[in-house]
Structure 1
Amino acid sequence: MGNMSVLYFVVQFAGYAFLLVSLLLLGIFAAYCLYVHYIHLKFDHIPGPPRDSFLLGHAPALDKAVKGYKVIHDKFLKWTETYGPVYRVNVLHRVMLVVSCADAVKEYLMSPKYPKDPYTYDLLFNLFGKRFLGKGLVTDADDDHWYKQRRIMDPAFSRMFLKGMVGVFNEKAECLMEKLEEKAESQSPVGMHFMFNCVTLDVIAKVAFGMDLNLLDDSETPFPHAISTCLKGVAQYIRNPYTMYMPWHWKFVKEVRNSAELLRKTGKECIENRKRIIKNGEEVPDDILTQILKSAEQEGDYDDEVMLDNFITFFIAGQETTANQLSFTVMELTKQPEIIKKLRFEVDDVIGSKREINYEDIGKLTYLSQVLKESLRLYPPAPGTARWIPKDTVIEGVQIPGGIAAIFSTYVMGRMEKCFKDPLKFDPGRFHPDAPKPYYCYFPFALGHRSCLGQTFSQMEAKVVMAKLLQRFELKLVPGQTFEIMDTGSLRPRDGVVCTVKCRVADCKGNT
């Protein structure tokens, strides 16, 4: 009888506890709904598309827009055409602006008053629980901390220092030319995006860290796969950070975590080994890592973890974006015979038949510069950036309450008629030295003090590779290739730019 009483008491207590927990959760949910309602009241005067639901906001539409690695900025462009240069996007309790007017770009990207959006970039500190980009140059939202890093990095990316790296650009580009010659002789199709990934990764590994990966020689290094996996992880993680808690994604999450761990482990070994060599007074490579370590020593204490964050940042940003730019450029040129004709005329005039392109030659390839810039306008590998607006302001006549993130998309503005006449036409003449400058409508490397540190490096490398390619080969897309874009954290050609390769001269070695 006593046991029955105890059991009755336990059951009754459990029932009350369940009721209390349910009421508590219901209260929390109700409070959250009230907060979301408050956010709506605060920001709903800003134009924007109708929300899909009260709580989810525009999340279902955005999720549909990115399914299959489609480009989210195409949705932003469509909404810009409908709702104007300033509109809001709601996701749960968060509101973001999408802004596409030149005056706002000038104000918010050029001024240090507006830091990077901490929510967006803090997501990349970790990747599914593994430290990834941390507080490196790209993700550091603290301007004071970022400035200290940038001061340490600047000497290693100066034009004077990079001038001495042109030999490496030539060496690695020549390896690519040799592989393409083999493909031409065997009449085998070649995935140009894969080849560009190999050569740009070879370059950044050698120039930045003194590492010889030799990926074009069929090296079995896991780096290319690790980088590609991490980028896919970034795309998934930004869209849904809770993926890691969903069992059906665990296999993918584990692969991403392992890839991030491999990159950080390799970076740690590389940095520690270089520090040991410097300490022992041994001869060190004159590369970016050595320059950074010297600058860090002059500046004083510099966090090893942050240095490792930048190792990952350089490896990914220094390789992926340039490879994608080169791939998009080749993809577009396969349907631009008149532009190719002009490019070859310039390359033949400046480079001739010589195999070593020097620093002075790079500066003379002005039409190639225009083509590369136009490629970045239509196909920017890094399509946008975000800034935090801390105080109330007005943009294009719209009152904007403070405490909101603003997205600025060079992809969107590059495809707007008000910024570029006939925007979908590939026209390098837009960037002729005498043409009107596209002020604050074009920012593939961002603008202002937070502009990309590696843009000079990237464009020097792209010019060397493209000049050699134009000098020696004719490329044609194989049937079935499309011009579609894929968004995996950066924009890349979806189909890999698979081409047939033909030598411009009898043996690709300059002998007609």
Structure 2
Amino acid sequence: MAVSYLILSWIAKALLFLLCLSFIAFLGYCLYIKHIHMKYDHIPGPPRDSFVFGHSPTFLRMMKKDEIIHDAFLEWVENHGPVCRINFLHYIVVIVTCPEATKEILMSPKYPKDKMVYEKLFNLFGQRFLGYGLVTAYDHEKWYKQRRIMDPAFSSLYLRGLMGTFNERAEKLMNKLSDIADNKTEANMLQLVNCVTLDVIAKVAFGVDLDLLKNSSPFPKAIEICLKGMTYYVRDLFFEYKPKNRPFINEVKEACRLLRTTGAQWIHQRKTAMENGDDVPKDILTQIIKSAGKEESMTQEDEELMLDNFVTFFIAGQETTANQLAFCIMELARHPDILEKVTKEVDDVIGMKQEISYDDLGQLIYLSQVLKETLRIYPTAPGTSRDVLEDIVIDGIHIPGGFTCMFSSYVTGRLDRFFKDPLKFDPDRFHPDAPKPYYCYYPFALGPRACLGQNFAQMEAKVVMAKLLQRFDFSLLPGQTFDILDTGTLRPKSGVVCSVRHRNYK
């Protein structure tokens, strides 16, 4: 009995000691947060929801309602100005919309990518996801090595050689739409263009025929689950600790494993074929492996980085382009005058040709304007961020170093001080003779960390849109919303469901 009492006494003392330590640690953390508030509260910003959690509760409420967090950023910038403070626990994020500061920070390699966010994308709930690939590497040397390896695969000469694949895969979509038109069934355009862009990246980058318009595949669902998981993992600090979320978290981890396992198989098969002297496609994967082989040494981490970039290209190479195409179709269907004008240009440039050439793309000037205007209102990758480690003055406000600078192309694209009547869809904003937007339009980011695949994406988008406009009339089915779904990238919530008809040539 005495021994039991002694053990219980020790346990009680230990628990009391741990409780005291926890209280002291929490008190110390609160004092640190107070210090951070005093350091940065001179920067304009909305009232905090919570002393400890800052503005996080607002974002969690918006996520539960499927609202766009960038709409909150837009409202705060309109109310508080071009330098706007946000608090997340002890982290300070400053939304910046000043063109001069945007130019200074995004155009310089001096400011690394936001370590807090991009380090979280290394894995999802403990499963390696994007790792330290081209998008997520915040260390300059790691990023530069990857970029040097990737550059040859995106040269203008190499991209010209991809026109055949762009045409071939877009033609498969036209055949599918022809069946839909003949059968008078509805077309979920977001779903269809997702199939095409994933087909393109699989074929062009990795030499694999998925043919998703005919075959089922686990990849589209896996990508969707990963992106959804990424959103919760980055924005909700406590998501993974809630037992009710465990089944979804397991789905996310399994989706990550599927993508990385697939990538490892495809890379291994290609390397083996190259080592055996077999004929291999001159695609992006071959270019990457050849370029990587020129490095002085390839470590296991370098091999993992190749896999990181497989996942990066597999997701980014299809998701954002598909969403842009769907938004573009949605806006053209809402604006018959613009649709008529861009269709006439396609008729004048392409005529009845089935094969669109690289030179044809250069003549589709108004279509380029339409695609750019689509990304102004609906930037599918809506923002980027950089760490600012040293003191800086932005718009006359002195900001101590140690904060994160956020740049939202969604916000700047919808500010009337940059674009008159910003919610109006007006491709003439990007007319060749119109003044170019000054560091307020950056759907592919800017500077050395700008998206490597932007030319690839816009070539693909042009081919798909030109063929669609050449062959079909389309209109939105009634009852759809024009709402946006935020899954890390932005996509049309309704799916852009259309009726499709063969064009009646006169």
The residue number in structure 2 matching 1:52 is 49
Q: What TM-score, normalized to structure 2? A: 0.98
Cα deviation digits, residues 386-409 of structure 1 (max 9, x gap): 011010011011111101101000
Identity of aligned residues (%): 59
The residue number in structure 1 matching 2:95 is 98
Cα deviation digits, residues 72-114 of structure 1 (max 9, x gap): 1000000000011001111111111111111111011001111
The residue number in structure 2 matching 1:67 is 64
The residue number in structure 2 matching 1:464 is 463
Q: Aligned to 1:87, what secondary structure does the other structure show?
A: strand
4+ runs of 1 displaced by more than 4 Å?
none
Q: Aligned to 1:201, what secondary structure does the other structure show?
A: helix
Residue 300 of structure 1, CA deviation: 2.9
Residue 212 of structure 1, CA deviation: 0.1
The residue number in structure 2 matching 1:162 is 159
Distance 1:197 1:14 in 2: 58
Distance 1:205 1:300 in 2: 29
Q: Aligned to 1:502, what secondary structure does the other structure show?
A: strand
Unaligned 5+ segments in structure 1 are 507-511
Distance 1:53 1:141 in 2: 30
Give matches, 1:50-199, under 5 Å: 50-199=47-196
Distance 1:314 1:108 in 2: 25
Distance 1:401 1:27 in 2: 28
Cα deviation digits, residues 474-495 of structure 1 (max 9, x gap): 1111111111001001000001
Residue 7 of structure 1, CA deviation: 2.8
Cα deviation digits, residues 16-73 of structure 1 (max 9, x gap): 2222111111111111111111111111111111111111111111212232332110
Match of 1:288 among 239, 260, 284: 284
Residue 220 of structure 1, CA deviation: 1.9
The residue number in structure 2 matching 1:270 is 266
The residue number in structure 1 matching 2:26 is 29
Residue 241 of structure 1, CA deviation: 4.3
Distance 2:65 2:216 in 1: 29
Q: Aligned to 2:87, what secondary structure does the other structure show?
A: strand
Does the 8 A contact of 1:393 with 1:400 survive in 2? Answer: yes
Cα deviation digits, residues 212-246 of structure 1 (max 9, x gap): 000011x1211111111111111111112432222
The residue number in structure 2 matching 1:378 is 377
The residue number in structure 1 matching 2:246 is 250
Give matches, 1:206-355, under 5 Å: 206-217=203-214, 219-302=215-298, 303-355=302-354
Q: Aligned to 1:215, what secondary structure does the other structure show?
A: coil
The residue number in structure 1 matching 2:472 is 473
> What letter corresponds to residue 288 of structure 1 in structure 2?
I
Distance 2:90 2:438 in 1: 34
Distance 1:14 1:236 in 2: 38
Q: How many residues align?
A: 503
Q: Aligned to 2:104, what secondary structure does the other structure show?
A: helix
Distance 2:292 2:97 in 1: 38
2:478 aligned with 1:482: no
Does the 8 A contact of 2:60 with 2:236 survive in 1? Answer: no
> What letter corresponds to residue 349 of structure 2 in structure 1?
V
Cα deviation digits, residues 301-355 of structure 1 (max 9, x gap): 3411000000000000000000000000001111111111111111000000111
Residue 5 of structure 1, CA deviation: 2.5
Does the 8 A contact of 2:328 with 2:371 survive in 1? Answer: yes
Residue 10 of structure 1, CA deviation: 2.4
Does the 8 A contact of 1:362 with 1:463 survive in 2? Answer: yes
> What letter corresponds to residue 212 of structure 2 in structure 1?
L
> What letter corresponds to residue 92 of structure 2 in structure 1?
V
The residue number in structure 2 matching 1:19 is 16
Does the 8 A contact of 2:165 with 2:204 survive in 1? Answer: yes
The residue number in structure 2 matching 1:440 is 439
Does the 8 A contact of 2:332 with 2:339 survive in 1? Answer: yes
Q: Aligned to 2:421, what secondary structure does the other structure show?
A: coil
> What letter corresponds to residue 2 of structure 2 in structure 1?
S
Instruction: Identify the range of structure 1 (112-121 vs 13-22) with the bigger mean alpha-carbon deviation.
Output: 13-22
Distance 1:68 1:458 in 2: 31
Residue 412 of structure 1, CA deviation: 0.1
The residue number in structure 2 matching 1:509 is none
Q: What TM-score, normalized to structure 1? A: 0.97
Q: Aligned to 2:485, what secondary structure does the other structure show?
A: strand
> What letter corresponds to residue 450 of structure 1 in structure 2?
R
